[in-house]
């Protein structure tokens, strides 16, 4: 049920930190935000009837208990109290920005302790009274920390004032000091002014408070794990890169911010030992040739898992919850002139095809608008490819209907819902079964295979600036989403994903925009987007 293998090997990661002489602060809460899909919560929770997330709900807490029973078998022996590097654990993340259910917080704390947590526990919230009152457990003497990226004097004063109000004296700690920020599709890359950052960090250090830089290493939202910001009825999916303009970039390379903060620390703490960072090897590989292509409708059975139902089911109900599902049915012609179709409540983005021909693409608020088309024959095959572009990771919309992905309530022809659906969950683990010599009709969602022989490997970025929208896989590893909308136009490829010898790159592209050659490049590629173009 739980997977801690390969890149998900938490035990190996924490033990590596210990070998490097680092201590570890763990956030084992089932919700972490972190611009992660659904804030880290699993999509299948949305199939539970009337479940209330992050609350004193027996269904939710039972799921947490099952998770902790497995998770703490890894964490408990790695605590500093058992000879490991874990020095602290967080009970919940910014709960005061979501709810005020102290019974729930105490239940999470009790579960952590039941399964072996015996290091310092803490909460982390915005450093003002409303969030601290709702999200901390100061009344239980649990360490309360603050999250912010500037105005340290004011934030720590507010945190200290609330401690005094509660009759508690604790260390002042900024658990997340935001040294950068995340970026979203269709918006400019967010960059923090370095001079302003250094001044804000100097203020924290001058006050003698504890601080964690968030992020220190940006990283990557591989696969379908990018989160989404919420704006009323509109969601704003975040890009695959979580570079964050952090001290270390996606490839683990030190950035100018790293060296600037290193210099600041040398100035303020000359006795502090600092070591030079490692610089990873980067490679360029040009003109990787296309060796095969096939459209989705031709290879659908090879790359999917099929489910039949009278009414269309959500991605969560189908047991998937992520990526893409193709919904298929047969429709009858009712008129000789144009007929009207409407897709009701689908999320997030869909392609509408009749007999394999692209008719319309709709996204968010466009979904539900009339799709008018003339049917040449008595019957037609209707295919709707739906993409989940990421669930919200923060705020009030965790349980909004918009977070249930797929075809929604269905498709209407004229004024009635169409029944009898075949549903195909696209499974990119099955790519080895795909025949890339099959038919590839222009304009259809398609798979493109490229092959390259490498004498040596290294970190790099896959240049997708000539492609439309989709995902890329290198030797079976899902690098994540790309979209010509920008700002991100290249996906990070860790050296560990590449082989000395033969390598296969597969691009799944939904808009019919591709290139016959690929490049692996040393640096990320971003599209310039004007601020007022958002």
Tell whether the model's pLDDT for residue 103 goes beyond 80. Answer: yes
| Rg of the chain, C-alpha, whole Å | 25
Cα–Cα distance, 477 to 503 (Å, whole number): 11
Q: Is the pLDDT of residue 401 over 60?
A: yes
Give 170-228 pLDDT, tens digit per residue: 999 999 999 999 999 999 999 999 999 999 999 999 999 999 999 999 999 999 999 99
Please tell me the least confidently modeled range out of 17-21, 70-74, 274-278, 530-534.
Answer: 530-534
What's the whole-number mean pLDDT along residues 230-255? 94
Active site residues: 94, 176
528 pLDDT band, cuts 50/70/90, is very high
Calculate mean pLDDT across residues 125-154: 98
* The pair of three-digit structure tokens given for residue 307, joined into one six-digit string: 């489910």
| Nearest CA-CA partner of 263 in 197, 177, 180 | 197
pLDDT at 532: 61
Res 280: pLDDT: 84
Shortest CA distance to 531 belongs to which of 490, 491, 489, 487?
487
pTM above 0.85, yes or no: yes
Q: How confident is the model at residue 166 (pLDDT cuts 50, 70, 90)?
A: very high
pLDDT digits (tens, 9 = 90+) for 43-93: 999 999 899 999 999 999 999 999 999 999 999 999 999 999 999 999 999
| Closest C-alpha among 31, 397, 97 to residue 236 | 397
Q: Pairing state of beta strands 173-178 and 143-148?
A: parallel
pLDDT given at position 531: 77
Mean pLDDT, residues 442-458? 97
Query: pLDDT tens digits for 272-301?
Result: 999 899 898 899 999 999 999 999 999 999
Q: 3-class SS at 493? A: strand
Q: Given a cut of 70, is residue 235 above it in pLDDT?
A: yes
Orientation of helix 10-19 relative to helix 58-75, angle to 10°: 40
Mean pLDDT value of segment 451-471 = 98
pLDDT digits (tens, 9 = 90+) for 313-368: 999 999 999 999 999 999 999 999 999 999 999 999 999 999 999 999 999 999 99
Residues 395 and 371: their CA atoms lie apart, in Å, by: 33
pLDDT of residue 433: 97
pLDDT tier at 534, thresholds 50, 70, 90: very low
pLDDT at 268: 97
Q: How high is the pLDDT of residue 233?
A: 80
pLDDT category of residue 232 using cuts at 50, 70 and 90: confident
């Amino acid at each position: 049920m739980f997977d801690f293998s390969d890149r998900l090997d938490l035990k190996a990661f924490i033990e590596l930190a210990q070998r490097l002489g680092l201590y570890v602060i763990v956030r084992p809460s089932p919700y972490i935000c972190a611009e992660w899909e659904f804030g880290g919560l699993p999509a299948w929770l949305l199939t539970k009837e009337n479940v209330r997330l992050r609350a004193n709900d027996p269904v939710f807490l039972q799921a947490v208990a099952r998770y902790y029973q497995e998770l703490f078998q890894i964490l408990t022996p790695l605590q500093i109290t058992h000879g490991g590097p874990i020095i602290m654990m967080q009970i919940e993340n910014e709960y005061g920005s979501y709810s005020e259910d102290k019974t729930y917080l105490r239940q999470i704390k009790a579960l952590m302790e039941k399964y072996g947590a015996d290091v310092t526990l803490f909460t982390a919230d915005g450093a003002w009274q409303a969030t601290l009152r709702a999200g901390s457990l100061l009344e239980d003497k649990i360490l309360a920390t603050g999250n912010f990226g500037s105005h340290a004097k004011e934030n720590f004063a507010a945190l200290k004032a609330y401690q005094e109000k509660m009759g508690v004296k604790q260390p002042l700690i900024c658990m997340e000091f935001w040294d950068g920020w995340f970026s979203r599709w269709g918006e400019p890359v967010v960059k923090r002014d370095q001079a302003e950052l250094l001044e804000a960090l100097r203020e924290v250090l001058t006050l003698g408070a504890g601080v964690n830089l968030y992020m220190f290493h940006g990283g990557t939202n591989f696969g379908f794990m990018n989160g989404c910001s919420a704006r009323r009825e509109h969601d704003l999916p975040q890009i695959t890169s979580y570079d964050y303009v952090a001290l270390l970039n996606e490839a683990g390379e030190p950035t100018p911010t790293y060296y600037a903060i290193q210099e600041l620390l040398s100035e303020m703490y000359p006795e502090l030992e600092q070591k030079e960072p490692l610089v990873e090897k980067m490679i360029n590989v040009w003109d990787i040739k296309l060796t095969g292509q096939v459209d989705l409708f031709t290879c659908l059975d090879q790359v999917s898992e099929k489910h039949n139902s009278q009414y269309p089911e959500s991605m969560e109900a189908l047991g998937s919850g992520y990526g893409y599902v193709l919904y298929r049915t047969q429709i009858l012609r009712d008129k000789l002139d144009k007929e009207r179709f409407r897709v009701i409540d689908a999320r997030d983005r869909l392609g509408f095809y009749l007999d394999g021909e692209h008719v319309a693409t709709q996204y968010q608020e466009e979904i539900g608008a009339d799709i008018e088309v003339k049917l040449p024959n008595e019957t037609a095959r209707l295919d709707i490819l739906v993409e989940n572009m990421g669930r919200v990771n923060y705020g009030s919309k965790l349980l909004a209907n918009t977070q249930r992905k797929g075809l929604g309530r269905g498709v209407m022809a004229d004024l009635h819902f169409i029944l009898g659906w075949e549903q195909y969950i696209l499974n990119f683990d099955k790519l080895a079964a795909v025949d890339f010599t099959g038919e590839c009709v222009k304009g259809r969602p398609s798979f493109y295979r490229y092959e390259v022989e490498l004498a040596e490997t290294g970190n790099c970025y896959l240049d997708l600036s000539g492609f439309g929208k989709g995902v890329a896989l290198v030797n079976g590893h899902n690098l994540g989403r790309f979209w010509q909308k920008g700002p991100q136009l290249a996906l990070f490829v860790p050296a560990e994903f590449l082989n000395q010898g033969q390598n296969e790159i597969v691009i799944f592209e939904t808009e019919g925009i591709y290139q016959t050659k690929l490049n692996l490049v040393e640096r990320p590629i971003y599209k310039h987007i004007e601020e007022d173009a958002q």
